[in-house]
Structure 1
Amino acid sequence: MSDLDDLIRLYFRLSFSNKEILSILAHSHQKVISVRTLKRICKRLGLFRRKNQSNLEEVLAFVQQEIMTNGQMQGYRWLHLRAIQHGFVVSQDTVRCIIKLVDPQGVELRRARRLRRRQYSCRGPNALWHMDGYDKLKPYGIAISGCIDGFSRYVLWMEAYTTNNDPKLIASYFLKTVSCINGCPERLRADRGTENGCVEQMQMFLRRNHTDSFAGEKSFLYRRSTANQRIEGWWATLRKQSAQFWMNLFQSFQDDGHFTGDFLDKSLIQFCFLNLIQDELDEVVNTWNSYKIRPSGSAASGRPVVMYSFPELHSAEDRLKPISMEDITLCMEECSTKGQYPCDETVFELCCLLMVENEWDAPGDPLGAADLYIRLREEILQSI
């Protein structure tokens, strides 16, 4: 099977239109084909948008499985894209009807939470990045840090860890991203939290020799967290698509007397759930970056990954600023990365020992992690 087949299958599964697939193939892979050739390849690979619809029972089982976990917070457009990415051929209307059938209460709850948003405009990708921390899971020991591009709403990083207050750790997320894309944003916006100090200095350092009107000190903006519109909008999406599920789960631990908020309980939450939450963050980000954003005021609309990678399709210009690897290397010396363990090392070793002794498997889903958390907690408290 050719590389071209693999690429077309990938972008088709991401629910990209034929025009978007052709543009990405030409710009990113130097593979220029016609619409007719693309359609012929899709037919040969069995890739259809409407023809050969998937078995409804299988689609129903998929939607039910999603709704059992974080899917209970998601709308039909989001779940439709998730279904397409899992290889189903199904219409949005079918997914909407299934959700209405199996989760009518969730439909009404989502319907009651519509927001009227402020207008926002940005000149192009990498003109302005929005960076912030998400603290809704922090009472349970999980802190999230993220950054989003203002023009495209492409999520640049989204990291879950035991803290989002360490300036050197946040700086490592920033440097990992700018190193990957070989450039830094024209400007970066964050609130005045002390955790953003290193990123501020590094952004201004990387921009010190540029000659545009936002170079140097003007390349970093401090704003109140509530005014950091793009990232605040993303937190609302994250809560609906994922975080609310975890908040409800951890709150149920607290209500049932299985969580007190002390050091041990937070460490056990981190041990059992941190990797699962990071995996789910990655899934939500991948889905969001491929999700087609509807028009809203003067803001550009489309798929974040396409708007970010191909701004010319939206009459915009990439504002990425070039940087040298020597500067990145210098900045890296001032960073710290995530630790080897998802929680306190002593608690980690104790949990691993108990799992081996009792032949408990590592959890692969939230329900398994919840069961492991309660077992570990009971075992440890009995031995104290």
Structure 2
Amino acid sequence: MPAGRPPSDYCSFPNNSKALQQWGISRTNYESELEDKIKELYFKQGLRDHEIIHALETNGIKISQSTLKTIRLRIGLRRRVVNAEDIQNTNDLVRAEVQKQLNSGRIEGYGRGHLYRFFRLKGYNIARIEKIMAAGDERRIKFLAQIISGVWMAMLHYPSEVSKSMLQLMLSLNINRTQISVLQRFLKVLQETKIQPRYIRPDKGGETVLVAAAHYLLLKEQYKNLLLQDCYLYSTSTSDQRIQAWWSRLTKSLLFIFREYFLKLSNDGHFQKNSLADRIAILAIYIPMAREEIASYVKVWNTRQITKQSHRNHSISGQSNVLYHLLEDGIPDYGSKPDQVVLETLLDEHNFELDEYLPLDTLNWCQQKLHSQGFERIRLEGLNENGERTHFIAYLYLRDQINLHIATQSEPQLRECEKPTQEELHLQQGLQKVATDLTNQPWFLG
């Protein structure tokens, strides 16, 4: 495993018989754990056989191709279903799941490849999605399956270079602290992964300037005579076609569901922008839901297979997750460990709660009201006994309760997150200087 790369969560269980005996774990339990791990790697991670073997070997579990196949078949993990009865049973199960997901709107914009991976992670083996979807429900889904291949490209999300794995995708509120928020997100990724890329490739957006400055400060102790342009590969947003294309795919595949729904709420008179109750209810209900959907989308995306490209000799094929967590021998890792002193200094600069979308007292009040009516976990696909969207019913209820609470001037005082003051947005001197120098560079201004 490359130096500096965080431990993989692909497998974590005892890795030799002697240790098993010392810990009092029987062979039966060990085999059961191994089977469970193979199931997880097969379904949850979407790995192929040779990738499962590699994942196990990194944790000391030696297993041959034939042994893996024997175990896989014994526990019912077949790569292909050939029996006519099994095919029909599988199709019936998947058809019901497809109908459920179509009703939620979640998969309506998914590309073919993303659709296969989505159902695979849910435990379904499917071969021809078009033939198991009921004719009335079959909806044309354009194939949108290629992700960014930049170094680390910054546009509020961070994909990796070789693996093309999406490291983080955020949904945050824009309340005049976008620059600081993006900076903190970048630093948090470095802190969590303990890896810093050699380059970042952002567009000219103002929110990326501080990221570039922090990136330079973290690298300059490692590389002598480092210039800003040596680690900051600026290009216009129109030039970063891959990242722009991925953002477009996310919008067409997932975010359009929320955009169209919110537009309908407004058109039907259920949301008024100038209503505090409407705004708080929207945030309380839909921010957690949208974050969950985005996280699920990214998880599925990171199981995609990158095919070998004959015209690009440097291209590496394989699954994104595997390439990021389990680099094979001979594949260079250009990441380095970030300077911990500089990193901690930059992280201590601001204490914003990056995931905050409502003040804590307001959020707690909203959650208590929702829980009192049985809205414990609101899901996109949830329906009540009348076939109505659970999230819509929850929104209307919460909005009415907020209006009543405000009208009676009860406590706590319900409010939105406040915009930070200029004092709260101050920057560390070194960071501010680098950011200023960057914005004055001719190659940046041009």
Instruction: Answer whether TM exceeds 0.5 for this pair.
Output: yes
Aligned partner of 1:18 in structure 2 is 49
Letter in 1 for 2:154: M
Letter in 2 for 1:276: M
State the SS of the aligned residue for 1:161. coil
Aligned partner of 2:35 in structure 1 is 5
TM-fit CA distance, 1:213: 9.2
State the SS of the aligned residue for 1:147. strand
Contact conserved, 2:109 with 2:254, CA < 8 A, in 1?
yes
1:238–1:33 Cα change, 3 Å: same
**Corresponding position: 1:372 with 2:397:** no
What is the alpha-carbon distance in structure 2 between the residues aligned to residue 157 and residue 237 of structure 1? 16
- Structure having the higher helix fraction is 1
Contact conserved, 1:183 with 1:323, CA < 8 A, in 2?
yes
Deviation string for 1:56-114 (max 9, x for gaps)?
Answer: 222111111111221111133322222221112332x1x2223472433x31xx34x87
Identity %: 21
State the SS of the aligned residue for 1:338. coil
Aligned partner of 1:55 in structure 2 is 90
State the SS of the aligned residue for 1:221. coil
Mapping for residues 222-233 of structure 1, pairs under 5 Å: 222-233=234-245
1:196–1:97 Cα change, 3 Å: same
Aligned partner of 2:25 in structure 1 is none
**Corresponding position: 1:101 with 2:139:** no
Aligned partner of 2:115 in structure 1 is 79
Mapping for residues 193-272 of structure 1, pairs under 5 Å: 193-211=205-223, 217-262=229-274, 264=276, 265-272=278-285
What is the alpha-carbon distance in structure 1 between the residues aligned to residue 251 and residue 211 of structure 2? 25
Deviates more, 1:220-229 or 1:151-160: 220-229
Q: Pick one of 331, 340, 359 that aligns with 2:373.
A: 359
Letter in 1 for 2:242: R
Letter in 2 for 1:219: C
TM-score by length of 1: 0.81
Structure 2 spans left out of the alignment, 5+ residues: 1-28, 381-388, 408-446
Contact conserved, 2:149 with 2:242, CA < 8 A, in 1?
no
What is the alpha-carbon distance in structure 1 between the residues aligned to residue 299 and residue 115 of structure 2? 13
- Structure having the higher strand fraction is 1
**Corresponding position: 1:327 with 2:342:** yes
Letter in 1 for 2:250: L
TM-fit CA distance, 1:350: 5.2
Aligned partner of 1:130 in structure 2 is 153
Q: How many aligned positions are there?
A: 356
Contact conserved, 2:165 with 2:302, CA < 8 A, in 1?
yes
**Corresponding position: 1:286 with 2:299:** yes
Letter in 1 for 2:68: L
Aligned partner of 2:182 in structure 1 is 170
Mapping for residues 176-195 of structure 1, pairs under 5 Å: 176-195=188-207
Contact conserved, 1:158 with 1:282, CA < 8 A, in 2?
yes
Aligned partner of 1:45 in structure 2 is 75
TM-fit CA distance, 1:312: 4.3
TM-fit CA distance, 1:230: 3.1
Deviates more, 1:66-75 or 1:338-347: 338-347
Deviation string for 1:231-270 (max 9, x for gaps)?
Answer: 2222123123311111111111111112233362333211
TM-fit CA distance, 1:277: 1.0
State the SS of the aligned residue for 1:129. coil
What is the alpha-carbon distance in structure 1 between the residues aligned to residue 353 and residue 265 of structure 2? 27
1:146–1:49 Cα change, 3 Å: same
Letter in 2 for 1:333: D
Letter in 2 for 1:373: Y
Larger Rg: 2
Letter in 2 for 1:278: R
The CA RMSD measured in Å over matched residues stands at: 3.1
Contact conserved, 1:208 with 1:216, CA < 8 A, in 2?
no
Letter in 2 for 1:200: A
Deviates more, 1:290-299 or 1:14-23: 290-299
Deviates more, 1:334-343 or 1:66-75: 334-343
What is the alpha-carbon distance in structure 2 between the residues aligned to residue 85 and residue 219 of structure 1? 37
What is the alpha-carbon distance in structure 2 between the residues aligned to residue 114 and residue 84 of structure 1? 18
What is the alpha-carbon distance in structure 1 between the residues aligned to residue 159 and residue 165 of structure 2? 6
Contact conserved, 2:202 with 2:233, CA < 8 A, in 1?
yes
Deviation string for 1:116-142 (max 9, x for gaps)?
Answer: x9x9866xxxxx10111xxxxxxxxxx
Aligned partner of 2:157 in structure 1 is 146
Contact conserved, 1:188 with 1:221, CA < 8 A, in 2?
yes
